[in-house]
Structures are given as C-alpha cells and as structure tokens.
Amino acid sequence: MDTSLPPRAAAVLEELLAGNDRYAHDRPSHPHQGRRTRAALAVGQHPAAAILACSDSRVPPTLIFDQGLGDLFIVRNAGQVLSPDALASLEFAVLELDVPLIVVLGHQCCGAVRAAAATFGGDDVPEGHLAQVLAPLAPSVAFASRQAGGDDLEVLSELAGLAHLRLTVKALRRAGPIIAGRVAEERLGVVGLRYEFSTGLTRRVDAGAAVGVGA
C-alpha cells in the first residue's frame, strides 16, 4: 500500500490499479452493474474516488479501472483542465460525498494538448470556443518547449501532456479551502495517473517532477 497517501486514499488507489490491471489483461470483472445495484443507488451514491479526466472517447475511466455504477465520481472535459466548474464539482465530491481520493487522469496522444502545442507561439486563433480550452494548457506547453529543444510537435505534445498532468495535481493539492484543507489534514489524497494506449495500463506520475511548472 502507498504510504505517501492517507490510508483510505491508498486503499482506493490500490483497488483502482488492480481494476486497471484486470482491464489491461482482458480479465475485467464488470462489478456493480446489475439491477440490485441500480436499485440501491436510487437512494444515494457513495463513490470511492473522484476522477478528473479528459473527454477523449478512448479513455473512459469506469472501463479502464474496471469499476461499476456508483463507484467513481467523474468530471470530464477536453484536456482534463481544472476549470472553475471542474473544481467546484470535485469540491462537491469531497465535501458532500466524502471521497478520500482524487485522481487526475491524463493520457497519451491528447488532442487538446496537441492543439495547444500546435498553436503555441503562433498567430492562429482556434475557431469557436476552443481557445477557452487551450488557454489553460499554455503554461505547460511553454514549460515543455524549453525541454523539447526542437520543433517536433509530437515530442512537444507528449512533454506538455506530462507537464500539464503534474501542474494540475499540484494546483488541486493547493486548491483551498476545501481540498487543500483536507489534504493538509491527511483526509484526502490527490494523485496523477497517465493512461497508455499501447498497454491499457495507467502509471503514477510524480507531481514534484515538474519543478518550475506552476510553482
């Protein structure tokens, strides 16, 4: 069990990673999906964790963690951006549903991050409201561009995706008073996981590895 997290958070993370392992190796158990579960959930929900995830259709959190109805409180938008609405939803999960763990779930080949990287430093203005999604990603792209040392868009996108994941975890841990307060009291854990299309597995990403991003 992960001793860097509060005990409840560590236990939930362990179960999520076990479920992800089942999913990745084609041994899902598909829990909590029957009629009895639906009936029980009609009177209330008690999710084990909250997930801030990307809207990408290839990364459905309930499936990749092999969970069921009522198990996860999921907030999704393009690029798993910590927008005011997303933060408010996560605060609801912590305050009203008492989730002990928040997972920020990033993934390989994120279209939103790639679009932010492609327009970084240029004059191209995204159509419609897309600029509102890409703007919060700019600090991570800027940080990644200093690491990339070249013009390879794919390299820049992957580095920016990792930086964005770390930045978001750090920002969530400091998001007061509700989330930051519970983190300080060791009643809540916040972790970053990154999903890999090639294996179906998620891996923990250390938020502290992005020194200088959002510091």
| Residue labelled with tokens 């991003």 | 213
Model confidence over 154-211: pLDDT tens digits? 889 999 999 999 999 999 999 989 999 999 999 999 999 999 999 999 999 988 644 3
Residues in Cβ contact with 61 at an 8 Å cutoff, skipping those fewer than 6 apart: 51, 53, 67, 72, 74, 105
Query: Which token pair is 64?
Result: 């990749």
Pairing of strands 72-77, 101-107: unpaired
Percent of the chain residues past pLDDT 70, beyond the cut: 91
> Which CATH number applies to 7-208?
3.40.1050.10
Per-domain boundaries in the chain = 7-208
| Residue labelled with tokens 């070249």 | 150
Segments in 101-187 forming alpha helices (H): 111-119, 130-134, 138-148, 153-173, 178-184
Q: Which residues does residue 104 pair with via DSSP β-bridges, in sequence order?
A: 52, 192
| Residue labelled with tokens 């959930």 | 41
> Whole-model pTM?
0.91
Average pLDDT over residues 41-51: 96
